[in-house]
Chains A and B, each alone.
Chain A
Amino acid sequence: MLFEFAVIGGILLGIYYALFAMGLNVVFGAQRIINLAHGDIVVLGGYAAWELYETAHVSPIIAAVVVLPFAIALGFLVHRYLTPRLTRSSDPETLSLILFFGLSQVIEAAASLIFGPNEHSLPTSALPVSSLHLFGESYPGIWWVAVLVSIPMLAVFLWLLYRTPFGLRVRAVMSSASEAATAGIESRLVSGLFFGIGFGLAAAAGTMGIFIFGGIAPTDGVALTITAFAIIVFGSLGNPVGTVIAALIFGVVTQLAQVYAPSWSNLVPYALVILTMLLRPQGLLGRRQRVA
């Protein structure tokens, strides 16, 4: 029974992790940048959910939608005003990493100045369900709620990417990063919007993350970023479907570790990064990327 619990729970969480990590892959697709502030955007989303619930009793499910435009705008502005200077430098890749790292530190500092350094959490009573049963096992309500939020968001995102003219443009831009860097205003607009969507997905994931991760603190960003990075490289950079599959596997493995070797479970994302990078740097679904 423990095994079934771990596997089903892992799949539920995996669906959430897909939403959680997708934003990082989207930002990578838009600009060939690893957004080291990804985890911090997730944290900001969590704070937004906390603030909205505590001040206005807005359900975190609504908050997941409310944060979208703000985070997309933030991402768009970052893309517009911070990244263009990088492409002119001698080592844009490492410098972008440092830049986004600086951004993550600014966000962390701002978060702890506004909300204090301590962990914030929301009571599960903020959610419509406390727990649900399946095959005789009880699963926390938040897992179901997170799935309920993640699936439509991912579905809309994938529809946007694969079934709309905007998505076609995005994929054209993604397929040639160098052209994207030098191309005209319109494609800058497209990649800027897509970049913003990456931030939006991260923030939306954060509104659920405040429950999933048992609360959020300003310093959580780094660990969250590594976890998301583990998932997207495992599933192949630039491949949204890969991220979904990798997130499901990651969810199940993490839950199995939680059940059978709890003290080792926080090693899972790190081991995943290291093993992927050493054994299959192009990821599960990838053709050889310029990773190595």
Chain B
Amino acid sequence: MSLSARRRPAVDEETKRPRWRGVVSPGMAVAIPVLVFLVAVHVYSNELLLVDMAIYIALAQGINIIYGFTGYLPFGYFGFFGVGAYVAGYGIVHLGLSGPLAALLGGLGGVVVGAVMLPLFRLKGAYFALTTLAVGEALYAIVSNPSLTSVTNGPYGLNLAAVYSSGWSFGMAVGLAAISILAVVLIKNSRYGMTLRAIRDDPYSASMAGINVARDRFYAWLIAAAIAGVGGAIYGWAISVFYPQDVFDVTVSVFAIVFALFGGIGTIWGPTLGAAVLYAVYNVVGVSNPQYFQLIYGLVIVLLVLFAPRGLAGIARYLHEHRPFVRSST
């Protein structure tokens, strides 16, 4: 009696799910990855790999925010990453900033580039995707240009070894991953998330529902740009010496998109798991034989698009709903 009396209010009448799941489960989505990283760094010696993995989790969540919630796919996402790395590097080299401050500056750099790209949102999906790709490549062509060596150091890249700090860069990377996941959690469970989904489903209907489509979509874009900017900054800081082609690398976009798709766009856990699993596979298979890894993820993309457009999360849901002997809850 007392048990059922206690249980009853703990169930949300609307969703028939225990109410605690609404708070605890999203919290877990942030806490578990952080804990895993904090443990992993003590067992696993390759800290840079963990830094990269954390950054890729953040980038995959950034793609999740902009593609998952607005439907706009930025192939040129790496542009923010590269700008973040360079702006932060500039801050370290010329302004004498500390790594964490420089990382924030890198995020700001991403936001500024994102703001400049605002007019591209007039374009529909495929054209938007490819035009952002052109922007990313154009940024690379400008930054790496020998004519600008006095400004950007041209093709010779940046050397940040003087301010290298392994503990800090690891902490920042994990922190960025946590903030990115948290951002997705907050968006997904908020009015803003509902607004973004409405915009993605039908922009004009959304505007007739009183939504300022351009503004609200733009916020999501800036959040995604800031994540990539900070990510690039931490990456540059963590590897200390980098060349333009290391940070303005279309592979960064490709990985972030593939990881997010693999895990499941529009979900909280999907991009985290997708990045963790595929980046681990990359490090087992890909570092020595990048072609094999490329073949694997190329096939993964084709198969996902054709058979499981919702990624791992979609497969998990399908299996859950089609469990034998268990009727799906209604």
- Give A contacts to B, CB under 8 Å: 34, 82, 85-86, 89, 91, 93-99, 101-110, 112-113, 117, 218, 222-223, 226, 229-230, 233, 263-264, 266-267, 269-271, 273-274, 277-278, 281, 290-292
Contacts and interface: CB of A to CB of B under 8 A. Distances in A.
Contact of A98 (B135, B138, B142, B301): B301
Interface string B71-111: 10101000000000000000000000000000000000000
Nearest to B302: A102
A135 B257 CA distance: 51
B242 interface: no
Contacts of A102: 297-302, 304-305
Contacts of A263: 145-147
A91 B130 CA distance: 16
Contacts, number: 129
B250 interface: yes
26 contacts: A85-B305, A91-B71, A97-B126, A98-B257, A98-B261, A99-B301, A101-B75, A103-B298, A105-B297, A108-B298, A109-B291, A113-B291, A113-B292, A117-B291, A222-B250, A229-B134, A233-B127, A266-B141, A267-B138, A267-B142, A273-B131, A274-B135, A277-B127, A277-B131, A281-B123, A291-B127
Contacts of A218: 291
Contacts of B215: none
Interface string B126-157: 11011101110110011001110000000000
Contact of A86 (B67, B137, B141, B305): B305
Contacts of A229: 130, 134
B9 interface: no
Contact of B123 (A91, A112, A292): A292
B134 A94 contact: no
Nearest to B141: A267
B309 interface: yes
A151 B270 CA distance: 50
A278 B291 CA distance: 36
B138 A270 contact: yes
Given A101-B301, A106-B302, A93 B141 contact: no
A292 B122 contact: yes
A233 B69 CA distance: 27
B137 A270 contact: yes
B43 interface: no
A223 B137 contact: yes
Given A113-B291, A274-B138, A281-B127, 16 more contacts: A34-B130, A94-B125, A99-B301, A101-B254, A101-B301, A103-B302, A105-B298, A109-B294, A113-B292, A117-B291, A264-B145, A267-B138, A270-B134, A274-B134, A278-B119, A292-B123
A269 B134 contact: yes
A99 to B, nearest CB: 4
Contacts of A267: 138, 141-142
Contacts of A222: 133, 250
Interface string B219-259: 00000000000000000000000000000001000100100
B262 to A, nearest CB: 11
A226 B301 contact: no
B134 A291 contact: no
A273 B291 contact: no
B278 to A, nearest CB: 13
A31 B130 CA distance: 17
A18 B302 CA distance: 29
Which residue, of A93, A270, A273, has the highest number of chain B Cβ atoms within 10 A? A270
Contact of B125 (A91, A103, A269): A91
Closest CB pairs A-B (n = 3): A102-B301, A105-B298, A109-B295
A105 B127 contact: no
Contacts of A108: 294, 298
Contact of A99 (B129, B146, B302): B302
A288 B75 CA distance: 25
B91 to A, nearest CB: 26
A66 B303 CA distance: 31
A94 B127 contact: no
Nearest to B73: A94
A270 B135 contact: yes
A98 B71 contact: no
